[in-house]
Chains A and B, each alone.
Chain A
Amino acid sequence: MQVTININGQPVSRDVEPRTLLVHFIRDTPGLTGTHWGCDTSNCGACVVLMDGKPVKSCTALAAMCEGHEIRTVESLEVNDRLDPVQEGFHEMHALQCGFCTPGMLMTARALLDTNPDPTEQEIRTAISGGICRCTGYKNIVAAVRWAADHQNGAHQEA
């Protein structure tokens, strides 16, 4: 079946099997491999993208369900060589190690700050609790999201 999804502002059209997962559509067709797959069961959050501004797990959405929707992936965060504050925050606060969960965490953080620009530690922890990070113990991810909240207009551009 023919599916057209708007990914990072660009319409992407492809003939797919009805069972094709959104995560595979994103990774295969435009080749945006920043969105990762980690678990099959909606538990790990490595595949989180924004659908119409809300974080969704792209391993649990069929590409066909996303016809006509707006998808944003990690590759959209940096605009005109300007990093999103959440990207800067992750670098500043050492909120990533192997980097595999990072895209999902970044998109989740972006969605949180879009709706709640001044979150408490507990609100940040709740927001990212749909994702698993095996490396950081979350402490620095929490700090990074808080950093981004404090620098919503961006601070420096060094990463």
Chain B
Amino acid sequence: MATTVENLPSREHERPVGFGRLKRKEDARFIRGKGNYLDDIRLPGMLHGAVLRSPFAHAKINSIDTSAALAQPNVAAVITAKDLETLGLAWMPTISYDTQAVLAGDKVRFQGQEVAFVIATDEYSARDALQLIDVDYDPLPAVVNARMALDQDAPLIRDDKEGQADNLASPTWEAGDDEATERAFAEADTVVARDIIYPRCHPAPLETCGMIADFNPETGQLDIYNGNQAPHAHRTVYAHVAGLAEHKIRIICNDIGGGFGNKVPVYPGYVCAIAGSIVAGKPVKWIEDRSENLMSTGFARDYLMRAEICSKDGRITGLRVDAIADHGAFDSTAQPTKFPAGFFHIVCGSYDLQASHVKVKAVYTNKAPGGVAYRCSFRITEAVYLVERMVDALAMEMKVDPIELRMRSFIRPDQFPYETTTGWTYDSGNYAETMKVAMEMAGYDDLRREQAEKRARGELMGIGVSFFTEGVGAGPRKHMDILGLAMNDGADLRVHPSGKAVVSISAQPQGQGHETTFAQIVAEELGIPPEDVEVRHGDTDKAPYGLGTYGSRSTPVSGGAVALVSRKVRDKARLIAATMLETRPEDLAWEKGRWYVKGDPEKGVLIEDIAARAYSGQPLPEGMEGGLDAQMIYDPPNLTYPYGAYIAVVDIDPETAEVKVRRFIAVDDCGVRINPMVVEGQIHGGLAEGVGIALMEVITFDDDGNCLNGSFMDYLIPTALECPDFEVGETVTPCPHHPLGAKGVGESPNVGSPPAIVNAVIDALHETHGVDQIDMPCTPARVWAAMQGRPEPPQ
């Protein structure tokens, strides 16, 4: 595919290298329908699996009779917890040091929990057989509400865990300074409190989760085809769970139809597919349907938060938060080990506070497990939503413009690196500048005038603001690991004799465009045109170890690895060039793609000539090995801290209470942009998700724990009609510690947009209807109730 790069930093350079808008290499296969997603893979002799799921949220299992299913001619095997026990696979560790039943043996603990696994010759037969399995249940009272889970007399959910006497999933976790926060509140002149819920929602990638497990009994080799966001970590987990040797497991991730965090965890269905292949001796494919995806795999959020915020002399000074995290029946949230509430303590936001304090309790409920997913760097989404709602509530109480209050309270550019009151070290920023750009793009003053005019006519228009700071790119090994695995990423770069290159990475794209942007990094660093750099990923046998793609960590961590491995190659190339030019390495200077003699620019050698020399029979520097390649594992010194200013403009129909997002202005500062087109695409997508979360997307349960949003008929995702024509802008504050000056960006729009939209909804209704709080999603029913002064219907 031909490529073009526009807006190059060095325009005059004739070699098409480096950063800038570059159309994607990936597109060639996707626009032809030639992507290779999991369900497109067919192996010889492959069988198909299907999972029987619990109809109850909480029930004792008396017996499971699989005989009728087994009698079906097309059924090869039916696996239950009993069978898994003999393989030692009945329970698996979660990524948060909890345990989760692979198949329920004693009890079911959420509706949709895995109870049996059928393997048949085809998917239709496997699903038919599910209906022939007879499970005798004794239903038990279900715990659906996280606050009620803390009641003394609440039913005990995890009676499988020795010593577990209540429904607390982990010890209460705190950050910040309690006493200093007390003082800040005592000295404050305005204090505002709110109960705010970030409801349960779901990433729902368009391709659901699934696996093909192919165990070869003769060799003991297990090949796994599975779209997941962290293949190397999964391989390590399978080695532990299944007792297989890690070097005999190979995970192959081809194209992935979206992840958004949903494809981070290890699911029981995966373990069943592996067990099925071991039992059947044939490849077993299992792919969940949409209901299974929505009802059983990694949900997002479900935070119940009580917060107080205060100000003194017109500035925000303190914040106090008491939150309950609803983990569902098993704690499978994916947090770095030392951070059981993730990065929620970034709730101090973008403000120069006097003090803050955060407390998080985690509880079990009879709901599906999960709690990391959906384009969220470890609970930052909940934190940003909370603080940005609280700042607006405070501005409302103080009767100041919400932007004005933010401007007065921002961390100033000269304060960076800035230690927050909860222990983060923000690397860089110029928040006020970014806020101003957003105001200009939006025409903020004109919007306020328009709003006043409309209000006078009885029309409901709202303008909502949010400003977020994220900490992404986990992370430094001294602070962060998952299951003991440092959160680093590797890169392996091989420059071939012709000067063309292959770079293998441990990041795992699901649509982010790494095949293009990571080629641009090599291009920028080595002067090899991006079309001559092939980016390999998704094969644990071929790529170096690393923790994968989630939490906006690809560019901060894997991108850093690719930049630095390129520099290693460049350093080796310099030594070879010195030999070729018969001079000393320190006498050479680099320009894109070429080492040349300082003071004599005509005398130089191109990277492809150096590569040819490296593999040739001609002399190399004394003691040097041949070839031109390098490998490295990158340990980032800190997270990167992207930020942005978002403004939403909404119109609310006074008669139907329908909220329409008319305009959305997003100004992001993610440092240096490797490919602005890809960055903007990421922002558009995250904004659409934010529109969905704010207005439509929610996973709810009735009192018996029945999931009420188990299909796309009930779990509503915005279409082109609900999304406005997003307006995006940028400021660029390079990250001081990242090799490229880049910061992560993928999650920013999902993090920043819901508070802007909800703030806009409240802004539309406050003056006329007295609304000062509403929880998401702002559906017509909930907005209508708020307009009438009635309690909002449950989510």
Contacts and interface: CB of A to CB of B under 8 A. Distances in A.
A101 to B, nearest CB: 5
A100 B258 contact: yes
B684 A136 contact: yes
B2 interface: yes
Given A121-B725, A129-B721, A138-B719, A94 B39 contact: no
Given A94-B24, A138-B688, A158-B1, A125 B720 contact: yes
A159 to B, nearest CB: 6
Contacts of A125: 720-721
User: Size range of the interface on B?
Assistant: 35 or more
B685 interface: yes
B600 to A, nearest CB: 39
Given A38-B206, A43-B713, A136-B681, A96 B720 contact: no
User: Size range of the interface on A?
Assistant: 35 or more
Nearest to B35: A99
Nearest to B287: A37
Nearest to A90: B31
Secondary structure of the A side of the interface? loop
Interface string B754-782: 00000000000000000000000000000
Secondary structure of the B side of the interface? loop
A73 to B, nearest CB: 7
A17 B37 CA distance: 26
Given A40-B289, A98-B206, A100-B206, A92 B713 contact: no
A74 interface: yes
A33 B33 contact: yes
B723 interface: yes
A43 B1 contact: no
Nearest to B727: A139
A100 B689 contact: no
Nearest to B205: A134
Contacts of A44: 206, 712
A98 B32 contact: no
A155 interface: no
Interface string A16-46: 0101000000010000111111111101101
Most buried by B among A37, A106, A129, A134: A134
Most buried by A among B26, B711, B719: B719
A159 B256 contact: no
A55 interface: no
A87 B721 CA distance: 22
Interface of B: 1-2, 23-24, 26-35, 37, 39-40, 124, 203-208, 255-258, 260, 289-291, 510-513, 677-678, 680-689, 711-713, 717, 719-721, 723, 725-726
20 contacts: A32-B33, A34-B34, A41-B711, A90-B27, A91-B28, A96-B31, A97-B513, A97-B685, A98-B258, A102-B35, A131-B719, A134-B205, A134-B260, A135-B681, A137-B684, A137-B686, A138-B684, A142-B720, A142-B725, A159-B28
Interface of A: 17, 19, 27, 32-41, 43-44, 46, 73-75, 77-78, 83, 87, 90-92, 94, 96-103, 106, 121, 124-126, 128-142, 158-159
